[in-house]
Structure 1
Amino acid sequence: MLLRLFCVLSGLMLSVPLLAAPDDFNEAKRLAQRIYADESETFYCACPLRWQGSKGIPDLISCGYKVRKNGPRASRVEWEHVVPAHHFGKSLSCWQQGGRDQCQQSDQRFRLMEADLFNLKPAIGEINGDRANFAFAELPSQAPQYGACPFKVDFQRQLAEPRAEVRGDIARIYFYMADKYKLNLSKAQQQLFISWHQQDPVDDRELLLNRRIAQQMGHPNYFVTGTRTWSLDYQPTGYGLSAQLEPQHQAKVKSPELTQQTAHNSVAEQRNQDNQLQVLGNQNSKIYHLSTCPGFSQVSSKNQRWFSTEQQALAAGFRKAKNCD
C-alpha cells in the first residue's frame, strides 16, 4: 500500500516540471514575463499590451491614455508591486539603515518578499512610478489624470484608486501578503479590501494565473482558491517568514484542520489542474505543446511563450506539435 502511494505521488510530481520560487526581484521579473506572456492588457489601465521578447509595450493611443508627466516610462511596462516594497520593508532594520538597496543586498527575507510572484503585475511605467508606495482608496472627487485610463492618484494625501475590474484582485493579493509575511493592515484597509473582494469576485483569468504562479512558488494564493477567507478578526499565520519551509509545509496552512497528507494531496491536485490547462509555445520554432506532450518539458526557458488556450496559440501563429495528439 505504501509503495503504491509512493508511486502515485511520484507520478503526479513528475507530470509537471518542479520549479523553484525566485530568489530575488530580477529573477522574479524574468519568470513573471513568462507567466504573463499571453497577457493582453496592462493591469491598472487595461491598455492593449504586446510583448517584444521580455519587454512589454502598451498601446497608449488605442486605450486613450494621456501621459501626465513621464513619457518614457509611460511607453513601457514595468512590474508593479501591488503591495509596495515600502510596506513590507519599512519595519526591517536593513530598511532603516539604507532603504531598499540595503535590504536587497543584506536581507534574504526582504529579497524573498520582493520576489513573490503573486505580488507582481504588469503596469504602465508612469502609473507604477506615480503610485509609488501610496495606499489604495476610493477617490470619488479626484479628477482623471491619465485620459481614459481610470487610475487616479491623490498626490497630496498619498492615495491611489485602481479601476473597479481589478479591485478584488488587489484585495486578495493584500490578504495573501499580509497572511504569508504577517504584514499589518489597518482596520480601514481591511474593511476596504473585504468590500472589494466581495464586489469583484475571482474570475477564470485570475484562477489561471494563480495556478501558473502556484507551480513556480510551490503554493497558491489561498484567498484566490477560497481555502482561506479574510475577516476583521483574521490572524495572519506568517507561514512565509521561514525561507526553509518545504512546499508541503506551506500547503499545510491552507486550513488548520488539514493533515500533512491531505495538504500534500491538495498540492498534487493543484498540479494536475495546471497540467490540464498549460499550453507552451516555442518562440523559435513557432510550435506549441500541451503539458501532456513529450516535448513540453524540452522547451528552453529563453524560447518559452505561454498561452491560456490552444486557440490563443493558433491565433498567434503557432502550430501544434506533431507528436502531441
Structure 2
Amino acid sequence: MLLMLLRFFLFVALVFSTSLLAAPATFDRAKIEARQFIYHDRNQQGDFYCGCNWEWVGRSGGRIDLKSCGYQVRAQQTRAERIEWEHVVPASNFGRARQCWQNGGRKNCNDTDPVFNAMEADLHNLTPAIGEVNADRSNFNFTMLSNAKPQHGQCPVKIDFSARAAEPRDAIKGQIARIYFYMHDRYDLNMSRQQQQLLMAWDKQFPVTEWERERDKRIAKRMGHSNPFVTGERTWSLGHKNRAEGVVTQLPSRQTQQTPSVPSSPPIKANKNSRVYHLPAGCPGYQQISPANTIEFKTEHEAIAAGFRKAGNCR
C-alpha cells in the first residue's frame, strides 16, 4: 500500500512539474505567463521602448505612469496609457513566412498552423511596451534614423512613418538583435543582408546585460529552452544557417483536434530547406533527401500544418 501511494505521489509530481515547463500554446496564455513569471517584478524598471513604469492591471495588462518617463501622447491617448505585449519580431513578419497566412491571415494561422501559434506565443519574443509606441512601430524594420527626432516626449524611440522604419533606444538594441537572431534561427526565417549587418553591429556594440540573462533564465523555465544567442552557445555571422528547431512542434491546432489523422508507416519525409515533403510510396525523391535536411512526419496533415507542400513529381 505504501509503495502504491509513493508511486502515485511521484506520478502527480512528475505531471505537475511537466505542466510547469510546458511552453504556452497561445498568445493569450503567453501574455499571462509573461506577466506572472517573467515581468512580475519589473513594472518599476521601465517598459521596453521608453523606460516608463506602470501598475499591473488584471491578468496581463498595465496602466502606464506617463510622468515617470516624460512621455507625451502623440495621437492615441487610450493606447498610450496601457501596457501591451510587443512581438519584437512582428507577428505579420513571421506570419508571412507561413502558408496559412497566404490562405487567410492571422486567424487562419491560429486555426490551422501549430508552428505559427508557437512563434506567436514564444516568450523570448515578447516584451511589455506602451500601447501607442507598439502601434506606431507597427511591423517596421529597425534601423538607424540619424535625422529623425523622437515624437513621444522624452521617450527616445524614433519612428519614420514614411520610410516604415524605427530606431529603438540604445539600451535595448543589443537585446533586439539577439531576439531577432533567435527567432530567425529557431523558426527558419529569412533576414536581409542589410538587417543582418545592422543587428550584428548592435549585438557587438551592446553586449548581454544582467537583466537580459535573468530574463532568459526565467523564460527558459517556462519554454524549456534558452535563447542561445543570449547564453553565448551560438553566434550570428553573415549568411547564418538556421537550425530550424522550432519548425516542428507538438502544439496541437484546432484542426488537428477536430480531424485526427491515422499515422502512416514508414514516415513521410520532408526537406527543411525546400519545404517539400515526399511520401514513402509514389515519390521518387523520398530516398534522396540528405539526412541533415530531413524532417519526418507521421501524416500528410502534420506536414501541411507545419508549412510543407507535397513534391510535384509524386505519382
Shift of 1:144: 1.5
Contact 2:216 2:226 in 1 (8 A): yes
In the alignment, what sits opposite 2:35?
Answer: 33
Shift of 1:49: 2.3
Aligned to 1:43: 48
Residue 74 in structure 1 maps to residue 80 in structure 2: yes
Q: Highest CA radius of gyration, 1 or 2?
A: 2
Identity of aligned residues (%): 53
Partner of 1:116: 122
Match of 2:145, as an amino acid? L
- In the alignment, the residues of structure 1 paired with residue 117 and residue 16 of structure 2 have an alpha-carbon distance, to the nearest angstrom, of 29
Query: Partner letter of residue 37 of structure 1?
Result: H
Query: For 2:241, what is the secondary structure of its paired residue?
Result: coil
- Cα distance in 2 for residues equivalent to 1:123 and 1:137: 19
1:17–1:64 Cα change, 3 Å: same
Distance, in Å, in 2 between the alignment partners of 1:58 and 1:225 is 31
Partner of 1:174: 180
Measure how far apart 1:100 and its partner are: 1.3
Q: Tell me which residue corresponds to 1:24.
A: 26
Alignment correspondent of 1:234: 240
How much has 1:50 moved relative to structure 2?
2.4
Residue 192 of structure 1 aligns to a residue in which SS? Answer: helix
- Superposed displacement of residue 41, structure 1: 1.1
Task: Provide the secondary structure at the position in 2 that maps to 1:183.
Answer: coil
1:139-190 Cα offsets, whole Å, 9 max, x none, are 0101211010001111111001100000000000000001000111111101
Where does residue 108 of structure 2 map in the other structure? Answer: 102
Q: d(CA) in 2 for partners of 1:109 and 1:224?
A: 23
Letter in 2 for 1:23: A
The answer to whether the 8 Å contact 2:97/2:189 transfers is no
Task: Tell me how far apart the structure 1 counterparts of residues 200 and 70 of structure 2 sit (CA, whole Å).
Answer: 31
Structure 1 residues not aligned, in runs of 5+:
1-10, 246-325
Quick one: distance in 1 between partners of 2:249 and 2:125?
17
Secondary structure at the counterpart of residue 86 of structure 2 = strand
TM-score (norm. length: structure 2): 0.71
TM-superposition CA deviations, 1:4-48 (whole Å, max 9, x none): xxxxxxx9x999984210111111111111121111310000012
TM alignment of 1:111-150, pairs within 5 A = 111-150=117-156
User: What do the CA deviations read for 1:30-77 (whole angstroms, capped 9, x no partner)?
Assistant: 111112111131000001222234321221122111111000000000
Secondary structure of the residue aligned to 2:139 is coil
Asked whether the 8 Å contact 2:85–2:129 carries over to 1, the reply is yes
- Measured in 1, the distance between the counterparts of 2:67 and 2:23 equals 36
Q: How do residues 140-219 of structure 1 correspond to structure 2 at under 5 angstroms?
A: 140-219=146-225
Moved over 4 A (4+): 13-18
In structure 2, give the amino acid aligned to 1:52: V
- Give distance in 2, aligned partners of 1:132 and 1:57: 21
2:113 and 2:168 map into 1 onto residues whose CA distance is 31
Q: Number of paired residues?
A: 235
| Aligned-partner Cα distance in 2 for 1:241–1:93 | 13
Does the CA-based 8 Å contact 2:34-2:123 persist in structure 1? yes
- Aligned residue number for residue 307 of structure 1: none
AA aligned to 1:135 is N
Q: Which amino acid aligns with 1:112?
A: A
Q: CA deviation at 1:231?
A: 0.5
- Separation in 2, partners of 1:206, 1:197: 13
In structure 1, what is the Cα distance between the partners aligned to 2:165 and 2:18? 42
SS in 1 for 2:166: strand
Q: For 2:246 and 2:19, how far apart are their aligned partners in 1?
A: 22
Q: Residue deviations 1:232-282, cap 9 Å, x none?
A: 03211101111049xxxxxxxxxxxxxxxxxxxxxxxxxxxxxxxxxxxxx
Superposed CA offset, 1:91-137 (max 9, x none): 32221122112211221111111000000000000011111111000
Give the whole-Å Cα distance in 2 for the aligned partners of 1:74 and 1:233.
38
- Per the alignment, residue 252 of structure 1 pairs with none
**Please, what is the CA RMSD of the aligned residues?**
2.0
